[in-house]
Amino acid sequence: MQIFGVSLGSFATLVLAANLSAQSTAPTWVTEILPPNAKIIETANVNTGGRVGRILVLWMLDPHRVVRREVGGGGCSDWVYGDHWYGPARLSLLNSTTRKIINTIEIHGMYEGAQDPEHGFPIPFLVRNGSYYVPQAEKIPEVKSGKEGVPKLLNLRDLTGEGVAGQFVLFEYEACAISLTTVVGYSPHTDRAVQFEVETPLDGGRRTVTSWVEQVFAYPPSPPGRWDFTWEPGHGADGSVHERVSFDRTRQLFVRK
């Protein structure tokens, strides 16, 4: 199979073919209320426990498909991006009862800027199980042993500790074995789609607020809404980093301590 001049093996071909149909499947009414140049990447129902008919839709505006010439051979960034869509990324919260959009957010990367007028973001469709969760890794030996598979991007979990499994994590490559992470998804407090912010203390009592933070959300919370773990940056840096992060329900953001 040749895709943009790329020769794929039989296993990768089957995975890619399955992905290109699975990730874009959505009810007809969903496609009708989005812009005509929207590509739906993935949808997921949100069990809010109260409000009914909430659907998250991850979509992109006319994205480019980036397929590597050699699968797994592009360096450390392949572990995060693999083969991916690139373009402006959006997340919409829909009401399936009224069939209307509640709100839509732009997903902003950490390093987007003037050099990227599209404000694009990479969304993988063929990648190793690691940063992104690849369900086939639990069933297919080839994927579990390192082959690439189809990621489940809307891998919804309760990351805020508010009792609703409505959030997921996106990743940006920073260095080998180090990724920037951001939490995106449903806010039960506001009933809206949100890219959550993280507050970090600085010297002199100052604080900075951003949507991206190294490594934190690559680890599972324990309990939901809290992280307490240690990791080693490497790359010539001595020592380790002890992360203590919790979700502030009143201010609706994550706080590093």
Give the chain's domain count: 1
Average of per-residue pLDDT across 127-150: 82
Average of per-residue pLDDT across 144-148: 73
**pTM of the predicted protein model:** 0.85
Rounded to whole angstroms, the Cα distance separating 22 from 16 reads 10
pLDDT band at 113 (very low <50, low <70, confident <90, very high): low
Report whether pLDDT(226) > 90. yes
pLDDT band at 64 (very low <50, low <70, confident <90, very high): very high
Spatial contact of 196 and 251, defined as CB atoms under 8 Å apart: no
CB atoms within 10 A of CB 32: 9
DSSP code of residue 220? P
Domain that holds residue 241: 2-256
